[in-house]
């Protein structure tokens, strides 16, 4: 079965838009999708940025907020917000997401972390926050958070995934990568990525 890998960062506003629709869009097309968290901040740093380009380039940041607000309205989502500090540090969430990447809870966990920031405007940096989010999904939050934060293999896996993202030329999130290594960047390229995957299956 052809598959699409969804590369995302847990602090990424446009990843929020894609996380909400990748299941239904891929499902309708009969394509498998894989959740693949990575650390976009590490890639930004290698470009000489110490924060999101949305912060460095003011006009771009203002536009992003307006653009997503319009998309959210068109898709009948709740009003879009930014957390009081943007971007949030996404390391812990990324470690949890890497640990659970193939679990039954990865989709709901990812969406809850993103909605907490971009609907509720709240932080996602505190371990306790993730314990609560996971518990609310019926998962053993404390055990998962503790393991994600300490498991050396898991930490290395996330680091390796981030290096792989950079080797593949990823420079933003969300990015979608097909089986034949075609890269599509941005929520507005999700349909194009699915079309490609179908045509080149």
Residue 150: CA count within 13 A, CB half-sphere: 6
Is 200 a binder of a second copy (CB under 8 A)? no
Q: Which of 45, 55, 60, 85 contacts a second copy by CB under 8 A? A: 60
Chain centroid, CA 68 distance in Å:
15
Instruction: Based on the shown chain and the rule CB under 8 A, indicate whether residue 160 belongs to the binding site for a second copy.
Output: no
What does 87-99 look like in DSSP terms, one character per residue?
Answer: SPP-HHHHHHHHH
70 binds a second copy (CB under 8 A): yes
Region at 172 (left for phi over 0; alpha for psi -120 to 50; beta for the rest):
beta
Please answer whether residues 201 and 2 qualify as being in contact, where contact means their C-beta atoms are separated by less than 8 angstroms. yes
Using the rule CB under 8 A, give the single segment among 62-70, 97-105, 116-124, 131-139 that binds a second copy.
Answer: 62-70
Alpha-carbon distance 169 to 173, whole Å?
12
User: How far, in Å, CA of 153 to CA of 99, rounded?
Assistant: 9
> Does position 62 bind a second copy by CB under 8 A?
yes
Residue closer to a second copy (CB basis): 55 or 135: 55
Beta carbon of residue 7, minimum distance to a second copy (angstroms, whole number): 13
Residue 94 sits in the site that holds a second copy (CB under 8 A): no
Residues that bind a second copy (CB under 8 A): 47, 57, 59-60, 62-63, 66-67, 70, 74, 166, 169-172, 182-185, 188-189, 192, 196
């Amino acid at each position: 079965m052809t598959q699409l890998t969804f590369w995302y960062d847990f602090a990424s506003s446009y990843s929020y838009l894609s996380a909400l629709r990748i299941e239904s869009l891929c499902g309708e097309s009969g394509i498998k999708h894989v959740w693949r968290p990575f650390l976009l901040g590490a890639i930004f740093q290698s470009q000489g940025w110490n924060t999101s380009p949305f912060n460095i380039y003011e006009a771009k940041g203002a536009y992003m907020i307006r653009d997503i607000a319009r998309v959210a309205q068109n898709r009948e989502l709740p009003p879009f917000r930014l957390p009081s500090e943007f971007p949030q540090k996404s390391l812990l969430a990324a470690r949890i997401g890497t640990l659970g990447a193939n679990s039954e809870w990865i989709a709901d966990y990812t969406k809850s972390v993103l909605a907490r920031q971009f609907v509720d405007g709240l932080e996602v940096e505190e371990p306790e926050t993730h314990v609560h989010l996971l518990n609310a999904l019926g998962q053993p939050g404390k055990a998962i958070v503790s393991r994600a934060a300490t498991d050396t293999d898991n930490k290395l896996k996330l680091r390796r995934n981030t290096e792989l993202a950079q080797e593949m030329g990823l420079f933003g999130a969300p990015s979608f990568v097909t089986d034949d290594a075609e890269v599509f960047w941005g929520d507005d390229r999700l349909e194009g990525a699915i079309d490609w995957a179908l045509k080149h299956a």
